[in-house]
Amino acid sequence: MKESSSPLPCSVAFETNTGLMPQATAHYQKRLSDLRGLFLDPAALELRIRAEGDPVCYENFAFNQNQAEGDIFFGTTIIYPGKVGSEYHLTRGHYHRKRDHAETYQALSGHRLVLFEREDGTTCTAELAPGKVTYVAPFWAHRSVNTSDVPLVFLWTCPVEAGHDYEGLGGRGMRQVVVERNGVPNVEDRPRS
Amino acid sequence: MKESSSPLPCSVAFETNTGLMPQATAHYQKRLSDLRGLFLDPAALELRIRAEGDPVCYENFAFNQNQAEGDIFFGTTIIYPGKVGSEYHLTRGHYHRKRDHAETYQALSGHRLVLFEREDGTTCTAELAPGKVTYVAPFWAHRSVNTSDVPLVFLWTCPVEAGHDYEGLGGRGMRQVVVERNGVPNVEDRPRS
């Protein structure tokens, strides 16, 4: 039998409403200042960073640091509610470094959406909602957006070797943006700068 | 960009209490007669097959028929409550054909357990419970057992190329069995035949 540096079989608790995962092997937070260059309105971003002491936009817990092909890691992402100008809080968004690697999302709390984009420019969206598994298909970049006024908490499950390519989106994120129009979320093409 | 036969990104609904997945791309049922050779008490099994018209022991819904490396498929398994003699209803149990491939389980309804076993004879168990992700580590065969009196429903997520090897367990299932003793479930070593 080959040796493995994977954890032993186990059951890993997560809190549905907060995303807290006490047995996580990794954790990071992204504050608004970490997300410069991504939002449509840089002036609104700087204003919030100064006025609110650079709040956390989203955070991430993960279980399993093993890097061997065939293994899986999983975790929670929590996107706190808020807007930068009219644009809702979001994750950075990425392609997988191995483009042909898939992922799944499962909303635990909150009911929002994922933006998808392929390298040929095709876009689509899918809802993140409790009671649904969101299939993050191979070759599609993905970014999650919280359009609600409560934290959006979701589980993700991914092959460990998928990897993250944040540069494939040209640094700015996705072609589409989610902004508030007349009090409701709207998916629009990013304005040409 | 490489072509892919994966589904497009989407959100796939499942019913927490029944495991029903209307958008499933595959579905199967295992009746008691499909599980001959696995239970400790073959006479009790035949009696139930005759008396109850060969009831369904468990069933499975899956989404994504793509077979390309790096892709993920997921689905639900529902183990109906019941015992064969003193032994609780179970899934067949398998190694992954690619031994180094992992999987995750997530109980939606019910609160039971997974038996694990490695080729070197090591065994362990983990609970299946809502609010926990059960990590099915590489190299460990796995079988789920419903020790409750309601259906056990769980989500599973797995690399598509992991594959199933049912023969690695020698046809009989796992080294450990879960039986009722004095009204409560007990994990025991399988008696030598």
**Residue B72 in contact with partner chain A when CB distance is under 8 A:** yes
Q: What is the largest CA-CA distance in chain B?
A: 61
**Residue A184 in contact with partner chain B when CB distance is under 8 A:** no
Q: What is the DSSP string of B25-86?
A: SEEEEEEGGGGTTTSS-HHHHHHHHHHTTS-EEEEEEEE-----TT-EEEEEEEE---EETT
User: How many angstroms separate the CA of residue A138 from the nearest CA in chain B?
Assistant: 7
Q: CA-CA distance, A78 to B152, in Å (whole number)?
A: 28
pLDDT band at B193 (very low <50, low <70, confident <90, very high): low
Q: Which of A4, A74, A114 sits opposite B139 (nearest CB)?
A: A4
Q: What is the ipTM metric for this complex?
A: 0.92
* Mean pLDDT for all residues in chain A: 94
Q: CA-CA distance, A138 to A135, in Å (whole number)?
A: 9
CA distances from A74 to B43, B91, B125 (A): 43, 24, 20
Mark which residues 2-61 of A lie under 8 Å from B by CB: 2, 4, 6-16
pLDDT of residue A2: 47
Residues A139-192 have pLDDT tens digits of 999 999 999 999 999 999 999 999 999 988 887 789 999 999 999 999 999 998
Contact yes or no for B185/B178 (Cβ under 8 A): yes
Tokens matching residue A16: 């549905």
What number is the average pLDDT over the span B156-163?
Answer: 95
Query: Closest by alpha carbon to A15, among A75, A79, A82, A64?
Result: A75
Query: Closest by alpha carbon to A178, among A110, A85, A81, A88?
Result: A88
pLDDT of residue A177: 96
pLDDT of residue A193: 67
**Tokens 């295992």 found at:** B30
Tokens matching residue B77: 């398994």
Tokens matching residue A113: 């959406």
B10-13 and A132-136 beta bridge pairing:
antiparallel
Which chain A residues are within 8 Å of B142, Cβ to Cβ? 9
User: How many angstroms separate the CA of residue A116 from the nearest CA in chain B?
Assistant: 8
Q: How many CB atoms lie within 10 A of CB A81?
A: 15
Q: CA-CA distance, A76 to A10, in Å (whole number)?
A: 17
Query: Closest by alpha carbon to A16, among A87, A145, A126, A107?
Result: A107
Q: CA-CA distance, A11 to B23, in Å (whole number)?
A: 28
**Tokens 């992700």 found at:** B133
pLDDT of residue A1: 42
